[in-house]
Amino acid sequence: MTISEGLSPTPPAQKAEPVIRSIRVFQSGSGEQHKEHRFGSRLPRSVWALTSRSWVPLPLQYFLIEHCDGLVLFDTGLDPAIALDPRYIESPVGRFLLPRIFRLHIDEADGLDRVLAAGGIQAADIRLAVFSHLHFDHVGGIAHIPQAELVVSARECAQLDAPHPEYDWILRDHVQIPGARWCPFEFASTDDPLLAPFGEAHDLLGDGSMVLLPTPGHTPGSISMLIRRDGWAPILLAGDLTYQVDLLEQDVVPGTGDAKELRASFARVRQLKALLPDLEIVASHDAGAAAALARAQGFAHLAA
């Protein structure tokens, strides 16, 4: 051995490639909802829905996680057909109520396949889609991903067997479409102290990178997804648990859903945030979602 060989520094250990490479947000056009819907109201839903004159912006977002084993969607957005096909909502009551509860600004270019393609992603390459819940504005892209497994909580899936799921904006005809590969899952108990507030969890791919957690309240089977990667702040994709994150932090429930269950889920998420102070909570209809994702992934940039 020469001296120079003997003194050569040990090569740095190869950094293992992270299993999560990126998280991106996409939009299904845009919308508006009533102020009472977003921020809550003392009035019952049936009253504010028909009497409110105040509209506030409602971003319509879904998320793409690039995992080393394939592309994963969290929700699939709104189908443009809702604005283009007068028969999209079968129930006359639903057709009457929709424009009184939502203003939707969407056209063909906002379909999942075209939005993903504009971002350099082919819908045919999506491996899995995880659903926060089954409302129409979250399941509107499934016709474009027939190859994908569609992951939903068993409790949410049971809503489809209720007499009238459409009364709660779960449109069976647009969920149980021919060829859709629905894969309901049951939560399992967990002894991970980090997840103690929830008591149960579902590790999506078994590597701890994407853990599904029960966060009922908006619907009975609503879930959130905790995403963890070394070098990033942890991220909680919270679906519609809240319409904007500051409202969850202030314990302000929206004007829809089960207020008691929402408050219990809010408290669990705040406990998780206490355990993970860097946690970025990302809500599907929050205009701050993109900034929260950028902040979380910015930790990786700083660490690189």
Residue 137 or 280 with smaller CB distance to Zn ion:
137
Binding of Zn ion at residue 240 (CB under 5 A)? yes
Residue 129 or 195 with smaller CB distance to Zn ion:
129
Binding of Zn ion at residue 166 (CB under 5 A)? no
189 in Cβ contact with 105 (< 8 Å): no
**CB 275 to Zn ion: min, Å:** 27
Binding of Zn ion at residue 79 (CB under 5 A)? no
**CB 139 to Zn ion: min, Å:** 10
173 secondary structure, DSSP code: G
- The rounded distance, in Å, linking the Cα atoms of 194 and 266 is 16
Residue 33: both structure tokens together: 């909802």
Residue 48 or 102 with smaller CB distance to Zn ion:
102
DSSP, residue by residue, 235-256: EEE-TTS-SSHHHHHTT---SS
Number of residues counted as binding Zn ion (CB under 5 A):
2
Residue 20 or 292 with smaller CB distance to Zn ion:
292
Listed ranges 114-122, 161-169, 174-182, 233-241: which one lies at the site for Zn ion (CB under 5 A): 233-241
Listed ranges 132-140, 155-163, 189-197, 261-269: which one lies at the site for Zn ion (CB under 5 A): 132-140
**CB 239 to Zn ion: min, Å:** 7
**CB 240 to Zn ion: min, Å:** 4
DSSP, residue by residue, 62-74: EEEEEETTEEEEE
Alpha helices for the chain (secondary structure H): 3-7, 35-39, 45-51, 81-84, 92-101, 112-118, 154-157, 245-249, 259-275, 289-303
Listed ranges 22-30, 67-75, 139-147, 240-248: which one lies at the site for Zn ion (CB under 5 A): 240-248
Listed ranges 134-142, 147-155, 157-165, 180-188: which one lies at the site for Zn ion (CB under 5 A): 134-142
Binding residue for Zn ion, selected from 36, 75, 110, 137, defined by CB under 5 A = 137
Residue 113: both structure tokens together: 């396949």
Nearest to residue 26, comparing CAs of 167, 92, 123, 164? 123
Residue 6: CB atoms within 10 A of its CB come to: 7
Radius of gyration of the chain (CA): 21
- By the criterion CB under 5 A, which residues form the site for Zn ion? 137, 240
